[in-house]
A and B are shown apart, each in its own frame.
Chain A
């Protein structure tokens, strides 16, 4: 089954991106596909490679990049939400790209399920 995931909150402040990560990783382990994850609202803050959490904390952005690289996940950051918050192409961590809201709507149309994580 194909799952689309929508993440509406930034890392660290809310548990949303941790929950979404564990859901995505587990779905893949169980043989499902997660072709795309869409980052909206403050969720766009998951994408910046400038984040440097303390050594003893998880690195949420790097975790997304690694999962994307290993499983071919398309990490899409909403352009309007990103520009509002100062997220630009040159700041993106590996695996992320900036695109339009149409990419979110496509997930709803094309995939079997759309699961939202937010506040």
Chain B
């Protein structure tokens, strides 16, 4: 399953809820304001790093760049473009947006 999170972890609980209920082997794609969580030094970075043991974490490159965060992502976070976003949706049998 592909989980999509779009809100800043500093503002909403959607990343926490997603990480709590995502099954082992699932993918989590951070888009829009959620990309900050995958950057070095962010308060949510430890959660992302801990989740990497069981989940594949992706962040949308254009959203990172638009926020001045390109090149600041945590090790092991896969940065994808919109083509990669489409591929992730296609590759997983279902997807869930944590609104």
Which residues of chain A have a CB within 8 Å of any CB of chain B? 1, 3, 8, 15-16, 19, 22-23, 25-27, 29-30, 32, 112-119
Chain B count of residues within 8 A CB distance of the other chain: 18
Bound-state CA distance A117–B96 (Å) is: 10
Q: Is the interface of B mostly helix, strand, loop or mixed?
A: helix
- Residues of chain B with a CB closer than 8 A to A114's CB: 95
Can you list 24 A-B contacts (CB < 8 A)? A1-B90, A3-B89, A15-B6, A16-B6, A19-B31, A19-B32, A22-B62, A22-B82, A23-B85, A23-B86, A25-B82, A26-B83, A26-B85, A26-B86, A27-B86, A30-B83, A32-B86, A113-B89, A113-B95, A115-B89, A115-B95, A116-B97, A117-B97, A119-B7
Which residues of chain B have a CB within 8 Å of any CB of chain A? 4, 6-7, 31-33, 62, 82-83, 85-87, 89-90, 94-95, 97, 99
